[in-house]
Chain A
Amino acid sequence: MTSGVLNLVLKRLGIAVVTLLIVLFAVFFATSMLPGDTASILLGQAATPEAVAGLRDAMHLNDPAILRFLRWLLGLLHGDLGTSYANDMPVAALIGGRFVNTLKLAGITTLLSVPLALTLGITAAMLRGSFYDRTVTILSIGIISVPEFMVATLAVLLFAVYLKWLPALSSVNEAHSLTDLVRIYAMPVITLTFVISAQMIRMTRAAVIETLSTPYVEMALLKGASRSRMVLKHALPNALGPIVNAVALSLSYLVGGVIIVETIFNYPGIAKLMVDAVATRDLPLIQSCAMIFCLGYLVLITTADIIAVISNPRLR
C-alpha cells in the first residue's frame, strides 16, 4: 500500500471524526429541545417553584447549551455516560447488558445474511434475465419497498400463527436450553435477515453485472472461456471491492432495522431501551443510545468508504 492510499484512508477517518462531532452536537441539541422542563417532570406536580429552581441549578440546566454539550463530551471521554433521570442509575450500567443483546442480534443476522445475500446476488447476476433472476429481483424490491414492521408482521403470521413453530415474543431471560435460544432469536433474526439481505442482494447483483459488462470480460467470453470461469476468474476478483462495500453499506441498515424489530418482538436490546427512554424523556439515556447508534452507523459507512478506496487500483 502506497502513501497515496494511506493519505486517502486517513482523510476518510478524519472526516468520520468531524462527522461524529457534528452528529453528537445535533443529537445533543435535538434532545435538549425535548418538551417540558426536566426538573419539573422529575419532581412531579406537587413541587414548589423553589424546589424546581434548585434542581435546575443542581443539574446545570440553566447553563448555556454549548457549555452543557462540552461538559457532556468531556464526561464521554472519561467513559462517564451520565446518570439516567428516570431511575437514577448510571447510564453505562443500564446500557451494558442490553448493548450485548443487541450486538448478539446484529451478529447472528450478519452471519446469516451475508452468505445468503452474496450467493443469491452473484447467482442472480450470472443468470441475468432468467426466471430465477427475475424472482430474486422482484422479491428483493418487494422487501425493500415495505416497512420493516410489515416484514416482521408477516413473519409472525407465517411462523407463529399459521405454522405455530415459533413464539411471537422473545425474552432472553427464559432461555434454558439451546432450543429455547433458537426459538427466541429466530423471529427477530429472520425479520432482520430479510431486510438486510434484500439490500445486499440488490447491491451485489448490480456490482457483478457492472463488472460483467466490462471489455475484459467480453474478451474472456470471446476467447472461449466458460461462463463460470468468466465469472469466477475474471469478474469476481474485480467486483470484490464493490461487493464488500455493498455488504458494509447494507449492514448499516441494521441500525434502522433493530429499532423496529426490538420494539415489535419486545427484545431487551438497546433500541428498545431508547424507544422507552424517548417516552420517559430520559435525556442522558437518549443521548447515549443515539450516540452508540450513530457511532455504529458511521463505523460501517466509513469502512465501506475505505474499502472502496483500497479496492480501486486507480486510486493507489
Chain B
Amino acid sequence: MARAGASRRSFLGHNYNLVGVVASLVILAWTLIAIFAPTIIPHSIGDIVDDDYFGPMRQGLWLGSDYLGRDMLSRVLMGARYTVGISLAAVCIACFSGVMLGMFAAVTGGWLDSCLSRFLDAMNSIPSKLFGLVVVAAVGSSIPALILTLAVIYIPGAYRFARALAVNINTMDFITVARVRGESTAYLIGSEILPNIMRPVLADFGLRFVFIVLLLSGLSFLGLGLQPPLADWGALVRENIGGLPFAAPAVIIPSLAIASLTISVNLLIDNLPRKIRDRDA
C-alpha cells in the first residue's frame, strides 16, 4: 500500500496519486449511499428478519443481524445517511460562519478583532467532547440541535484558521489599493480575500468534517447523539456492543464504516496535489 502511493498519474492538469483516487472513490460511494439509501436497502430498518440475534454473515443477510435480529446491511446503509448528512450540514455551517467571521475580523481589525479572537479562543479551549456532552444534554439531541451543536463547537477552529490566512492576505498591496479605491468591506472580503484563501480553506473543510464525524460518532456511542429508532454509525456500535464478546459483525461493520470514511477523507487531503493543499501555493 505504501508503494502504491508513489505511482502518479496526470489528470486535469494535476498530479493525482493512486491513494488519493481510491480515497475519493470511497468518499463518493458513501455519498451516493447516503443519498439513495432508502431505495437500495434490502429490508426495512425496523423489520426483524432473523430468528437469531447477532447472526453471522450469510446469504440474504450479507452483514448478519443486530441485537434484535434486524438486517445489519440495511441499518448500516441508512446509518450512512445520518452520519454523512448531519456531519456535512454541521461542517458547512461551521466553516461558512467561521470563515466569514475570520475574514471580517481580519479586514476590520481593532477592538472588534481582539474581542472576537479572545472569545473564540476561549471557546476553543473547551475540549470538544466535553462541550458536546454539556450542550447536547442542555438542548437535547434532535437532528437540528445536533447539527447546530457540532457546528458551534467547530466554528472557533475554522475562524482561527481563516483569520490567520486572511491577516496575511490583508497586508498585500492589492488590498491596500482596493481600500484606497474606497471598496466596501463586503467587497474586500468576497472578491479580494476569499478567492486567495479558498484552497486551504477547502482542505480545512475536509479535516473539520473528519473531526465532526468522529465527535458525532463519539456522542452517539455515549448515547447522547442520535436517539432510537434513528441510528447513525456510532449509535449502531453502541446498541450492538453486547455482541463484542462473540465478535459479531453487527459491532464491527459500523466501526469499519466510520473508519473507511474518515481515513479516506484524511488520505485524500494528504494526497491532494501540493498546489491545492499548501496555503502559500
Contacts and interface: CB of A to CB of B under 8 A. Distances in A.
A255 B214 CA distance: 15
B70 to A, nearest CB: 20
B3 to A, nearest CB: 9
Nearest to B135: A30
B68 interface: no
A109 B127 CA distance: 19
Given A18-B122, A33-B138, A290-B134, A260 B244 contact: no
B56 interface: no
The B interface, classified by DSSP as helix, strand, loop or mixed, is helix
Contacts of A264: 221, 241
A26 B130 CA distance: 12
Nearest to B254: A150
A142 B263 contact: yes
A148 to B, nearest CB: 7
A48 interface: no
A297 interface: yes
A152 to B, nearest CB: 10
A161 B138 contact: no
Interface stretch (A1-9, A97-105, A130-138, A226-234): A130-138
A145 B266 contact: yes
The A interface, classified by DSSP as helix, strand, loop or mixed, is helix
Interface string B252-263: 100100110011
Given A33-B138, A33-B139, A146-B258, A141 B266 contact: yes
Interface stretch (A38-46, A211-219, A274-282): A274-282
A27 B134 contact: yes
Chain B contact-residue range equals 35 or more
A19 B266 contact: no
Interface string A144-177: 1111111001101100111000001000000000
A294 B126 contact: yes
A259 B130 contact: yes
Interface residues of A, number: 51
B1 A19 contact: no
A148 B265 CA distance: 17
A131 B5 CA distance: 12
A112 interface: no
Contact of B258 (A18, A34, A147): A147
A35 interface: yes
Interface string B95-124: 000000000000000000000001101110
B224 interface: yes
A303 interface: no
B247 interface: yes
Interface of B: 1-2, 118-119, 121-123, 125-130, 133-135, 137-140, 210, 214, 217-218, 221-222, 224, 234, 237, 241, 244-247, 251-252, 255, 258-259, 262-263, 265-267, 270
